[in-house]
């Protein structure tokens, strides 16, 4: 018999990677989970782990009708949603100049507008419950725009800004917000969830071109463990004070902290110039 007091997790993008491992951990704890993928058949093994506690639904986050249907199915089955994990999305690499317009817009539809729509669909239930936790899977690219990843970084920067506002709006309603910012993890992201526009302009061969090649070379050798990442996400939801940022992995931790220190130093060094923009009597 299912435990009707167990928390309900709604996780997008569960067929591979972080979503798959996190769903396994959630179900392994005896909790309930709504697991999603564009092809529901790929979730059969997950549901088999706990048929009474797992609900598989078809979901493409770029399609509003599927979002609405998935949330309705979740509430009909479990009556609530305690944790929303916005994990669905993918990478796209190109130099800025060589970026393909159609690829750029498709990535924003999935990584940004789909995440926005998914969150809006779940918020009414959390608001009514006066509780909930939204985990947005961003990236170290939410802080650092690497060569060749400018458009991907732009999607993650957008989610970070969105999350800042949501955290303030949601706090009085009992809704918590955490951005999960992983570095390189040993998932099949590079093989399955990454698109690239080939580097054709020689001027970018040593910047964007080198990074595009390096991303493929490191696949399968990344230091991050997706299972340990899932455990860290669960711990974040159990903290009395939810972290706004959860950086995962040594490369991300070192890269982000260094970049933030550099940014703060640069801003402070220009203090006089910044303040000179005000009216003298302000």
Q: What pLDDT score does 53 carry?
A: 97
pLDDT in tens, 223-264: 778 999 999 999 999 999 999 999 999 999 999 999 999 999
What is the C-alpha to C-alpha distance for residues 133 and 2, in angstroms, rounded to an integer? 22
Global confidence as pTM: 0.94
End-to-end CA distance of the chain: 66
Q: What share of the chain is helix, strand, coil (3-state, %, to 5)?
A: 55, 15, 30
pLDDT in tens, 143-156: 999 999 999 999 99
Q: What pLDDT score does 217 carry?
A: 64
Q: What pLDDT score does 196 carry?
A: 87
pLDDT in tens, 23-60: 999 999 999 999 999 999 999 999 999 999 999 999 99
Pick the CATH number of 8-251 from 3.40.1190.20, 3.40.630.30, 3.40.50.720, 3.10.180.10: 3.40.50.720
Query: Residue 190's pLDDT band (boundaries 50, 70, 90)?
Result: low
Region of poorest pLDDT, from 176-180, 188-192, 271-275:
188-192
Q: Give the residue-averaged pLDDT of 73-92.
A: 96
**CA 5 to chain centroid:** 27
Average pLDDT, whole number, for the chain? 93
Task: Answer for the pair 33, 54: CB distance below 8 angstroms, yes or no.
Answer: yes
- Residue 30's φ and ψ, nearest 5 degrees, are 85, 10
What is the C-alpha to C-alpha distance for residues 189 and 17, in angstroms, rounded to an integer? 7
Q: Give the residue-averaged pLDDT of 100-106.
A: 95
- Please tell me what DSSP assigns to residue 78: H
Residue 152 known to be catalytic: yes
Geometric angle at alpha carbon 201, from 198 and 203, rounded to 5°: 130
Q: What pLDDT score does 184 carry?
A: 82
Residue in 92, 151, 152, 204 annotated catalytic: 152
User: How many other CB atoms are there within 10 angstroms of residue 2's CB atom?
Assistant: 14
* Residues near 141 by beta carbon (within 8 Å), at least 6 away in sequence: 149, 152, 153, 156, 157
């Amino acid at each position: 018999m299912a435990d009707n007091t167990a928390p309900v997790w709604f996780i997008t993008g569960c067929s591979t990677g972080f979503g798959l491992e996190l769903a396994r951990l959630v179900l392994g704890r005896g909790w309930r989970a709504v697991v999603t993928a564009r092809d529901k058949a790929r979730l059969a093994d997950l549901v088999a782990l706990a048929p009474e506690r797992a609900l598989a639904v078809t979901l493409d986050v770029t399609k509003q009708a599927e979002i609405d249907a998935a949330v309705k199915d979740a509430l009909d089955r479990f009556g609530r949603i305690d944790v929303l994990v916005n994990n669905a999305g993918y990478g796209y690499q190109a130099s800025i100049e060589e970026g393909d317009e159609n690829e750029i817009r498709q990535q924003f539809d999935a990584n940004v507008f789909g995440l926005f729509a998914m969150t809006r669909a779940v918020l009414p239930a959390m608001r009514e419950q006066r509780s909930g936790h939204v985990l947005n899977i961003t990236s170290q690219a939410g802080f650092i725009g690497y060569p060749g990843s400018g458009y991907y970084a732009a999607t993650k920067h957008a989610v970070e800004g969105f999350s800042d506002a949501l955290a303030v709006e949601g706090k009085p309603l009992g809704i918590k917000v955490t951005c999960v910012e992983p570095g390189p993890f040993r998932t099949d992201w590079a093989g399955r969830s990454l698109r690239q526009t080939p580097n054709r302009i020689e001027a970018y061969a040593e910047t964007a071109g080198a990074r595009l090649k390096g991303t493929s070379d490191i696949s399968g050798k990344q230091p991050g463990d997706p299972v340990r990442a899932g455990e860290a996400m669960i711990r974040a939801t159990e903290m009395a004070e939810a972290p706004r940022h959860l950086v995962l992995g040594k490369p991300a931790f070192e890269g982000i902290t260094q970049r933030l220190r550099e940014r703060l130093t640069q801003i402070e060094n220009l203090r006089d110039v910044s303040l000179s923009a005000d009216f003298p009597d302000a």
